[in-house]
Amino acid sequence: MNKQADISIEDLAEPLTYPVEAFLSPEYARAERELLWPKVWQMAGRLEDIPEVGNFFTYNILDESIIVVRTAPDKISAFYNVCPHRGRQLVNTPEDTNGVRGRKQHFVCGFHGWTYDLEGKNTFVLDPQDWKGALNEERTCLTPLKVDTWGGWVYINMDPDCEPLLEFLGDVDRILSPFEFEKMRYKWRQWVIYPCNWKTAIEAFMEPYHVAGTHSQLLKYGEFYAYSKAYGNHGVSGFDERDPELRKAGGTSVTRAGGAKGSDPRVTSYELARENFETLMKTGSTDTLVNAARRLVDELPEGTSGPDVIKHWMASARADDAARGVIWPEMTAEQQSEAGLAWSLFPNQTILQGITFALCYRSRPYGDDPNMCIFESYALERYPQGEEPSTEWVYAEPTAENWGPVLAQDFSNMEWVQKGMKSRGFRGPLPNPHQERKVTNFHRVLSQYMGTGSPRLLDK
């Protein structure tokens, strides 16, 4: 909300392209299984799912299943979900669940009863004397892996020599930590097994260049000109303003609506907030923001300037939230401006953040098939203490009824991109160097993990 458009935008020096095999080739998908997923920090879930000691959830990636467990009030551990005796999965995680959750004092294997404490240490073997002393702590404990937390998310990494999570996140930590995502809670969460590559899916949410073509209902709120910027492994995008007059007024997608020529900013601010909220499954804004926007016409005289409308709107929404116990994070205009609108954290986490809410996506490969993925979307919001809703992962077919009209519009591209890229008539992607830079940066980082060539220059 209320971001400034006046930010420095780094263009790629040259237009680039990258190989389409990354989306289509079964060999490439198999290589990712060895070169990418076991080597990269991946978001496994949210801390709110494991509030008490003994609470755990499982996170599945390809054939791996990971148990993430709270071992002490301030300690999280992660183990491979396998019993070291003869390899039974310790916590059954069926494929038709999006991971499982529970609470245990210890983990008991269902096959021969070997038992582990929350730290993964073996506490029971039936008839251990039969091994004639060959069983030691090392052989009988669960196999741990790296785990860390940021913004209320839990991240795991299977590479024992990986860089620390904060190093991997780089500027993301500095720029996004002020939003205090750790104070937000799930509002809803949905998942689907979807017919496209996991990269095709996550790239559908990497750039706002598609807004005009895909979400054309938003065009009535202004001219959306996107920017996209790389921060190391990760990237951010937002909207710039073509009209220098409006840019001076400090416009972005929201404030531009407030400042659109020939319209009443008191009305357009409300209409855009309401449109986002209603078409994005009650996210992209909050009840507080929409209600405060609805009152703008009553509270402000006709002719109030766009920036003044926004200022009043934000002040009254902040006061409304404070009255119900939701305190906004303190952020300067510069901090909000630098944060842009939407982040892509390599490899597969997307965060569209607002002052008290976030809309997030994640995609993962599904089996060995490069044409299938697990796609998830969830909304986070700050709630008064004790009023957080209790939510579960809901499997939802990709329809407008289940996901709202905006996500349905995105779904209406993804499987057709996957199909189209297979054509022998497709000469390779031509990503926009300015507005789709996140996509090329994603392929640059991916190529480093995969040991393939970096995105290459387009001949001119």
Chain contacts with Fe ion (rule: CB under 5 A): 410
Of residues 96-125, those binding ligand FES (CB under 6 A) = 109, 111-114
Does position 86 interact with ligand FES (CB under 6 A)? The reply is yes
Question: 109 touches which of Fe ion, ligand FES, none (CB within 5 to 8 A by kind)?
Answer: ligand FES
88 binds, among ligand FES, Fe ion, none (CB under 5 to 8 A by kind): ligand FES
* Contact criterion met (CB below 8 Å) for 352 and 341: yes
Q: Considering the complex, what minimum distance in angstroms separates the CB of residue 272 from Fe ion?
A: 16
Task: Give CA separation, 369 vs 193, 323, 373, in Å.
Answer: 12, 51, 8
Q: How far apart are CA 233 and CA 227, in angstroms?
A: 17
* Closest CB 123 distance from ligand FES, rounded Å: 12
Q: Which does 112 bind (CB under 5 to 8 A by kind): Fe ion, ligand FES, none?
A: ligand FES
Helices then strands, counting H and E runs in the chain, come out as: 16, 20
| Least distance in angstroms from the C-beta of 143 to ligand FES | 13
Shortest distance in whole angstroms from residue 226 CB to Fe ion: 11
**Strand ranges inside 307-410, DSSP E:** 342-345, 349-353, 357-365, 373-382, 394-395
Binding partner of residue 83 among ligand FES, Fe ion, none, CB cut-off 5 to 8 Å per kind = ligand FES
Select 338 or 410, whichever has its Cβ closest to Fe ion.
410
Q: In Å, what is the CA distance from 115 to each residue of 125, 130, 139?
A: 7, 17, 13
Residue 274 site contact among ligand FES, Fe ion, none (CB < 5 to 8 Å, cut-off depends on kind)? none
By CB under 6 A, the residues from 279 to 298 that bind ligand FES are none
Q: Which is nearer to ligand FES, 141 or 408 (CB)?
A: 141
| Inter-residue contact 450 to 32 (CB < 8 Å) | yes
- 83 vs 93: CA distance, rounded Å: 14
Question: Nearest distance from residue 283's CB to ligand FES, in Å?
Answer: 42
Q: How many residues bind ligand FES (CB under 6 A)?
A: 9
Query: Of 116 and 313, which has the nearer Cβ to ligand FES?
Result: 116
How far out from the chain centre does Cα 416 lie? 22
Complex with Fe ion: residue 172 or 359, whichever CB lies closer: 359
Interface positions, 45-84, toward ligand FES (CB under 6 A): 83
Binds ligand FES by CB under 6 A, chosen from 85, 104, 146, 294:
85
What b-and-e string marks burial along 122-152, b requiring 16 or more CB atoms within 10 Å of the CB?
beebeeeeeeeeebeeeebbbeebbbbebbb
Distance of CA 235 to the CA centre of its chain: 12
What does the alpha-carbon distance between residue 178 and residue 200 come to, in Å, rounded to a whole number? 30
The HSE-up count of residue 383 (CA atoms within 13 Å, CB side) is 12
Residues near ligand FES (CB under 6 A) are: 83, 85-86, 88, 109, 111-114
